[in-house]
Structure 1
Amino acid sequence: MTNVTDLSNVRASVETANGLPNAHYIDPAIFDEEKQAVLFSQWTGLAVASDVPEPGDAVPLTFLGMPLLLIRDKEGDVRVFQNICRHRGMILVDKPRKIEGAIRCPYHSWCYSTKGKLVSTPHVGGPGQNTHDAINRDTLGLNEVRSHVWRDVVWINVSGDAPAFGDAMSHIIDRWSEFDLPLHHGGYDSRFTLELNTNWKLAVENYCESYHLPWVHPGLNSYSRLEDHYNIEEPGAYSGQGTMVYRQITDENGDRFTDFEDVGQKWNEQAEYIAVYPNVLLGVHRDHAFAIVLEPQGPERTVEHIHLYYAQPDTPEGLRARNTQLWKTVFEEDVFVVEGMQKGRHVPGFDGGRFSPVMDSPTHCFHAWVAGKFEAHRGQRTAAE
């Protein structure tokens, strides 16, 4: 039984609440509990569909210790499978590659289609006997993990019992309905990763608020000032911040990216940055968007996978590179903050901190959601005992 942390005050009003206790950032036992309570039970970001652009493309991934296979099947649909053979549990694909025929297990050569169907079982009934009455291929296909692609992010629900994606995410889908448009990944120069010595939740918490802009992002704050920002909160679903001043970047010729079509006049100078719970950070602008998938690798280690998108597939390379560098600079400025807060969680007796009722309410919204998920999970576990 995990040491149960006291979350009673985390869900209090923002004026009086404390943040999540230290153990939720540093304790391996709480991290294991969090997998079930927060990360497996929700629609959680795994990767992006642009990682498998063509039919047959397959990429092995590890999600919270679980070997998974991201694949675009021969019909072009993105799927996620457990990356193990149903025979003896052998890893099927050990590096990114194109599946030309079937997915073949390297151990005993059982083969699966890109839709997960078991299609071949060589010598399973003895030498030269490729079938056996006890081996029903129809019931031994790859175990598929429930998945959905939205804004190019591949979301998975490991537990299999979350509401349908469209229902679970209806609030954010509706909020950004104007941006329900084709997204074109910028390509090799529009993706990068940041490896952080921090808990994944601290990356979410920092992204949610604009309070830190004047001190951590002075360049950004020089034109998109603190007072130009507003809080965004949908309790139980997402939170973040928006700005009323978005300045398009230009190249040396004064050229800009092509705008997304018909997104509405309000987006001419407005932009929004929202953390969709639990682990996906999204940004939208009139002329580009980004997605950040946070990969928790342990209580104190996180990898940020950052991807940039445009309205057109043929954006100018120089302008694209300039935009990537701009965002890389901004996100790197946050590293010392999230790593510094992680170190702070090792101070015994730290009470989780307090919130500015005005500036920190999107972050408090996230803390309250996490606490609620833990309490619900613990309630179910207690009822089952």
Structure 2
Amino acid sequence: MTVQTRYAGPLDTWPADRSILPAHTYLDQAVYETEVREIFQGRWVWAGFEHWAGTPGDSRPITVAGRPLLLARDKQGVLRVFHNLCRHRGLVLSEEPSTRGRLRCPYHYWTFNLDGSLCGTPYWDRTKGSAPDDETRDRLSLLPVHHATWAGMVFVHLGGEPEAPLTDLLAPLTERWAGVDLTRLHLAGERRYEIQANWKLPVENFLDFYHLPFVHPQVGPAAAALDIHDVALSADIVGGCYPRGASGKADKTEVPLPRLGDGVPDDFLERQELYALFPNALVFLEADWFQVIAFEPAGPEATVEHMAVFVDATAAGDGFAAARASLCEVLFEVNDQDVPILERMQRGRRSPAADHNHLDPHWDQISARFQVRVAEILEAAGHG
């Protein structure tokens, strides 16, 4: 693990009047398509939440890197991810969440179980009640997608066999959070946002600790933003730690929420930790709650953002209902305040003057790590 308060890297050598990522990389369709192909189709990416298909028989269509996928929880409770296409003529199989336990294509009524198996093919050989042989039936099951789950989230890998399991990539963070039990999460609240901004800006804003006292004055004074350590756990996990962030803010709930598991160390009671998991999951942890802001790029200037707040499973009852609602109100308000800022930054990228933005080495060092990560990928793809 590397903890640092100053980034010894691009900001030391980059001209002060230049951005690491030029303005056109937030606007250009060709750049966007390269990012979708090289970033979102070629590595582990956030795809959804486990609770989107939380009960056996549930299914929900999702989109990752422009590709239609399907979350499904079969009769045995196993969560699966499939390409959301009927195996007959390639029709998108599902367009709405369902609890029916099966999926039926509206074109020819081919039907699939939620384990992916084909179970219905009307008039297969043009006779009533006919069906394919077992080998053909097995061959025509829904096509699976590499997936893994962690902390209530579902991640997928669209680029063939993953170069490493998700657990390996997350290891620096899971080791750091070893005392927190993220298998005990209970959903407290969730919102969906449609933001007119490039997908990179929500990440950069999340890693921008400078703006907190000005855009979100309710979270504390400017002095609180000075008390943070920039943390780079790996090239793909960067963020920060407020050693006294939780204790320095007003209580979010009147009734204290239980800790996330019995192993949360006492020093975590005062800490806040927030990390960007490259490319599209932003996670925020305190001892008694966990927040995710994750997103789907929807175009060069459009992003669909999903925010979810989780508490410990022991806080799921009516006795904590007011506390859960109060927590969500506070956290959603912060995100609501960020949306117009993101959209104004996006509009600013349309000016040629945006290529002369000044990155402040005292504040922007951790955001620069994210920008460099993207820049390296774009350069390798020929967008030097």
Same fold (TM over 0.5): yes
Name which of 313, 317, 321 aligns with 1:317.
Answer: 321
Equivalent AA in structure 2 for residue 334 of structure 1: D
Map of 2:341 onto structure 1: 337
Partner of 2:161: 161
> Partners of 1:352 and 1:158 in 2: how far apart?
36
Q: Is the 8 A contact 1:235 1:369 kept in 2?
A: no
Equivalent in the alignment of 1:383:
none
Residue deviations 1:330-368 (CA, integer Å, cap 9, x gap): 112212221121111111263263422232111111111
Q: Which residue of 2 aligns with 1:113?
A: 113
Match of residue 359, structure 1, among 343, 346, 363: 363
Deviation at 1:46, TM superposition (A): 1.2
2:236 matched residue in structure 1: 237
1:120–1:130 CA contact under 8 A, matched in 2: no
Shift of 1:39: 0.9
Deviations 1:315-336 (A, max 9, x none): 6111111111101111122122
Equivalent residue number for residue 123 of structure 1? 123
Instruction: Tell me, yes or no, if the aligned pair for 2:213 and 2:222 is still in contact at 8 Å.
Output: no
- In structure 1, stretches of 5+ residues that fail to align are 1-10, 380-385
The alpha-carbon deviation at position 377 of structure 1 amounts to: 4.0
Q: Is the 8 A contact 1:19 1:353 kept in 2?
A: no
SS in 1 for 2:95: coil
Show the counterpart of 2:279.
278
Percent identity, aligned pairs only? 31
Kindly indicate whether residue 257 of structure 2 is the aligned counterpart of residue 257 of structure 1: yes
The letter for the 2-side match of 1:145 is V
CA contact (8 A) 1:34 1:374 kept: yes
**1:347 corresponds to 2:351:** yes
Alpha-carbon distance in 2 for matches of 1:256, 1:90: 50
Alpha-carbon shift at residue 71 of structure 1 (Å): 1.2
The ranges of structure 1 where at least 4 consecutive aligned residues each deviate by more than 6 angstroms after the TM superposition are: none
- Alignment match, 1:3: none
**Residue equivalent to 1:81:** 82
Residue aligning to 2:179: 178
* Aligned partner letter, 2:379: E
Residue 147 of structure 2 contacts residue 156 of structure 2 at CA under 8 Å; is this kept in 1?
yes
Contact 1:42/1:157, CA 8 A, preserved across alignment: yes
Q: Partner residue of 1:295? A: 296
SS at match of 1:335: helix
Distance 1:182 1:135 in 2: 38
1:14 equivalent to 2:11? Answer yes
In 2, Cα distance between the equivalents of 1:289 and 1:296?
23
The amino acid that maps onto 1:317 is A
| Structure 1 residues 238-283: Cα deviation after superposition (integer angstroms, max 9, x where no partner) | 11122122047354xx421111222112201011011110000101
1:16-36 superposed Cα distances (whole Å, 9 cap, x missing partner): 333212222111121111111
Could you tell me how far apart the structure 1 residues matched to 2:52 and 2:133 are? 39
Q: 3-state SS of the aligned residue for 2:89?
A: coil
The residue type equivalent to 1:13 in the other structure is P
Partner residue, 2:190:
191
The CA distance in 2 between the partners of 1:250 and 1:355, in whole Å, is 33
**Aligned positions of 1:15-54 closer than 5 A:** 15-17=12-14, 18-54=19-55
Alignment of 1:104 onto 2:108: no
Given the superposition, is the C-alpha separation of residues 86 and 352 from structure 1 closer, same or farther in structure 2, using an over 3 Å criterion? farther
Q: Identify if the C-alpha distance between structure 1 residues 265 and 125 changes in structure 2 by more than 3 Å, giving closer, same or farther.
A: same
Which SS does the other structure have where 1:68 is aligned? strand
**3-state SS in 1 of match to 2:256:** coil
Equivalent pair of 1:19/1:354 in contact (CA under 8 Å): no
Q: Which residue of 1 aligns with 2:3?
A: none
The 3-state SS of whatever aligns with 2:179 is helix
1:15 and 1:212 mapped to 2: Cα distance?
A: 22
When normalised by structure 2's length, the TM-score is 0.88
Q: CA deviation at 1:184?
A: 2.6
Paired position in structure 1 for 2:136:
136
CA distance in 2, matches of 1:378, 1:211: 33
**Partners in 2 of 1:96 and 1:134 — Cα distance?**
29
Cα pair distance change 1:234/1:181, threshold 3 Å: closer
Counterpart position of 1:200:
199
Measure, in 2, the Cα distance between the counterparts of 1:106 and 1:263. Answer: 50
Q: Which of 197-206 and 178-187 deviates more?
A: 178-187
SS in 2 for 1:155: strand
Q: Which runs of 5+ in 2 are unaligned?
A: 1-7
- More displaced 10-residue stretch of structure 1: 352-361 or 292-301: 352-361
Give me the whole-angstrom Cα distance separating, in 2, the residues matched to 1:118 and 1:53: 22
Q: The residue matched to 2:193 in structure 1 has which SS?
A: strand
Q: Residue 4 of structure 2 corresponds to which residue in structure 1?
A: none
